[in-house]
A = this chain, B = another copy of it.
Amino acid sequence: MGPQEHRVERRLAAIFAADVAGYSRLMEQNEVGTLQTLAVHREIMDGLIAEHRGRIANTAGDSVLAEFPSAVDAVKCAVEVQKALASIDQDRPEEARVRFRIGVHVGDVMVQRGDLLGDGVNIAARLESIAAPGGVCISATTHEYVRKALPLAYTDLGPQQVKNLEDPIQSYAVSRLPSAPTSLEEAAD
């Protein structure tokens, strides 16, 4: 095999996949309002991703795919995003809330022209589909990396069968502890 035209680089990364629960329904009910809320939420999310050293690799409609150099940073970011969005959404009627599901997985991904490719990306997207609206779902591998570093509530969801993957995924729902500090920064540094 000769030198490759499109060099693919491999790297370990924590993959963060987010999209809006019930996006089609929200758009059908109130297109302008939903897009406005989404823009506000995305600004908050994008800011927190950058703050946690993440890089947005892809966005499409209501979905965001980002990578982080550390699993701890990615999970901290996901939990902070959900906290921030819940706080600005609390005065909105239930049916108008724009709530993201977020999935986090650690993969040895391939990166080509900034795009993330490979199994790890698919798994992050599947974890996201398992997450509750406003929630965070992480793989067992991710859990292994963060459980000692981040004092959060981890709920074992058991093996989950997801589409397009042969083996079930072991996953955990993550949320703040009832007595959590205002910011995870204090506890995790």
Q: Which A110-169 residues have a C-beta within 8 angstroms of B? A: 119, 141, 144-146, 148-149
Taking CB atoms, residues of chain B closer than 8 Å to A12 are: 12-14, 69-71, 106, 145
Question: Interface of chain A, helix or strand or loop or mixed?
Answer: mixed
Contact A72 B108 (CB under 8 A): yes
Query: How close is A36's CB to chain B, nearest CB, in angstroms?
Result: 36
Taking CB atoms, residues of chain B closer than 8 Å to A72 are: 10, 108
Contact A146 B108 (CB under 8 A): yes
Known A-B contacts A141-B141, A189-B1; A69 and B11 likewise in contact (beta carbons under 8 Å): yes
Tally chain A residues at the interface, Cβ within 8 Å. Answer: 26
Most chain B beta-carbon neighbours within 10 Å: one of A1, A10, A12, A186: A12
Specify how many copies of this chain sit in the oligomer.
Answer: 2
- 17 new A-B pairs (CB below 8 Å) besides A10-B70, A12-B145, A108-B149? A1-B189, A4-B189, A8-B189, A10-B149, A11-B69, A11-B70, A12-B14, A12-B69, A12-B70, A12-B71, A12-B106, A71-B108, A72-B108, A106-B106, A106-B108, A119-B148, A141-B144
Q: How far is the CA of A73 from the CA of B110 in the complex (A)?
A: 12
Query: How close is A72's CB to chain B, nearest CB, in angstroms?
Result: 5
Q: Which residue of B lies closest to A1 (CB)?
A: B186
A107 at the interface (CB under 8 A from B): yes
